[in-house]
Structure 1
Amino acid sequence: MSIKYLDKIYTFLVIYKESSFSKASRVLGISQPAVTQQIRILEDFLGVSLFERKKTGVLLTKEGQEFLKYARDFEKFLNNFEKKIKEFKKMDTPFLIGASPTVGNYNLPECIKYFQSLINKDINLIIKSNNELLEDVEKKALDLAFVTKKNKNSLFYEEWIEDELVVFSNKPLPPEISIDELKKYKMICREPNSSTREFVKKMFEAREFECDMLNIISVVHNSTALKYTVLNSSEQIVSIISKSVIKGELKNKKLFASKIKDMNLKRKTYVAYREKTKEIEAILNFIHQ
């Protein structure tokens, strides 16, 4: 049955309960001619007459009594559906925060519990690439996202923390290394489409230095894999990574870090959102304190 007849079935039920077209019109909040028109459309669709008009009101025809059985099944469904809608409206859906891999795995975990207490909601953290996150925020699949790049879109961006990238190794390094000195080390780097590699490539190209001038021996696809590949190597290997990823290993002197001479490898982290809800405003106020 076409969905366009469902409201007519509901009108049929109201008329039956009220035994009157005029009373049904008051219950439904529509005019009596509109009620009559709805029943006429339903009768035309079914090919039968449903009501007999009497001085004392209206009565169901024999066909109307038979149709009432089916209409009551619809009424049961409708009542159950209304209960489900009420449950849905009361449901407290989780707040969805997205984050790029480094930010989500190393910067945000300590903050999530504070965010939850601020907005009084469960929070689900989704880790994706920057581009995927920004697409999800734009189409409202995420409430907000912590990213390390901005795209030209309709989103709002607010600065959060600075993420510092450093050269690191499993063997001691000098406090500073020039770009040219990087050539003498065996190096592992991130995959070409990663935000870290894109950022480093852009910084190197500004100094007229191409990444293919480095002695790259391997490529890995996330910061954690990069850290442990360098950490577990039997020979000295270097790479470039967010300092937050290796802070524990630096403290325990399992890994060693160096800065690139005359180069600022700090990148901004942004909070991206589509519209400022009360939950987002509470989080923004907290992180800007």
Structure 2
Amino acid sequence: MDIRLQTFITVTKIKSFTKASEILNITQPAVSQHIKFLEEYYGVIFIKKCGKSINLTVEGKILYKYAIELNSIYRNLEAEFRNKDNINKTYYIGASMTIGGYILPYILADYRNCYKNIDILLQVNNTEEIIKKLLNRTIDLALIEGNFDREKFKYIKYKDDELVLAVSHLHEFAKYKNITLDKVLKGKLILREKGSGTREIFENDLLEMGYDLKDFKPYMELGSITAIKSLVEANLGYSIISKETLKKEVESGIIKIIPIKGLRIFREFNFVYIKDSDEEFVKTFIGFCLK
């Protein structure tokens, strides 16, 4: 990749010309010259210094967006040539939290046994972050649980999932055959963070039922499914969470699933990928998972 674009990316991330020069193993004047070259070439200013702080201009943000994408394309190009020259191939898959923590690891173990020359590197994050990685081409395929732009990506449905109310066996809700949504919303409801597919699906259902999200505030918001389950087990709150994540706890009786009157929340797990992805790998992997 063009060393000047690499310099620009590094300066933008590190926010320091001095540290960027150390990372890139070039002099600080060279860093300044690379940025100056880009600004003169495009005829705009990309970086403004305010004292010791470094800020991107509007044009700088545009360049950064494309520089990241170009960097990813170069990495993919190098990886493809390496994969053609070697027996072993490496691919990157991104998964949202529920799928990455509770479904995909078992599939990857089976896949590895069948395709011993292929290494799959898994990245797990919330749906919003995984979509960003897909757009930046740092992953080859995503398996997500939330909404996405169906015009922008190619996708194949994997399976349906249900979000359920999970409570401790010691919680007062555990005594009931079902519970009203109003009671659930007024109590100690623990939810995933903003940007997660689980949170988005639940809030969309609330909107469809006429609730105002401005009046709705969870008791806690956490990015870890394991942490949420631990709090539920300790009877410090309850949660709306994927049924897939609760199998062991429900079987042991530590956590109970209580139906909510008049509400069942379903969603899809989808394979999502960019149109010019490695189609042979994508189709083979998706076919393996569906079987």
With normalisation by structure 2, the TM-score equals 0.62
Q: Out of 96, 108, 120, which is 1:100 matched to?
A: 96
Q: Out of 127, 144, 152, which is 1:130 matched to?
A: 127
Query: How do 1:1-289 and structure 2 match up within 5 A?
Result: 89-90=85-86, 92-120=88-116, 121-148=118-145, 149-152=147-150, 154-170=152-168, 171=171, 172-183=174-185, 185-211=187-213, 216-233=218-235, 237-274=237-274, 275=277, 277-289=279-291
Aligned residues of 1:183 and 1:213 also touching (Cα < 8 A): no
Work out the number of aligned pairs and report it.
Answer: 203
Supply the RMSD in Å over aligned alpha carbons.
2.6
The verdict on how the C-alpha distance between 1:198 and 1:173 changes in structure 2, with shifts beyond 3 A counting, is farther
The verdict on how the C-alpha distance between 1:140 and 1:92 changes in structure 2, with shifts beyond 3 A counting, is farther
1:21-52 alpha-carbon deviations (Å, 9 max, x no partner)? xxxxxxxxxxxxxxxxxxxxxxxxxxxxxxxx
Aligned residues of 1:175 and 1:257 also touching (Cα < 8 A): no
Q: How far is 1:207 from its partner?
A: 0.7
Unaligned runs of 5+ residues in structure 1 are 1-84
The verdict on how the C-alpha distance between 1:203 and 1:134 changes in structure 2, with shifts beyond 3 A counting, is same
Identity, % of aligned positions: 24
Report SS of the residue matched to 2:268.
strand
Report SS of the residue matched to 2:92.
strand
Residue type at the aligned position of 1:160: Y
Report SS of the residue matched to 1:230.
helix
Unaligned runs of 5+ residues in structure 2 are 1-80
With normalisation by structure 1, the TM-score equals 0.63
Aligned residues of 1:166 and 1:258 also touching (Cα < 8 A): yes
Larger-gyration structure (1/2): 1
Q: State how far apart, in whole Å, the 2-side matches of 1:187 and 1:137 are.
A: 32
Q: Structure 1 residues 143-152 or 185-194, which shifts more?
A: 185-194
Aligned residues of 1:118 and 1:282 also touching (Cα < 8 A): no
The verdict on how the C-alpha distance between 1:205 and 1:249 changes in structure 2, with shifts beyond 3 A counting, is same
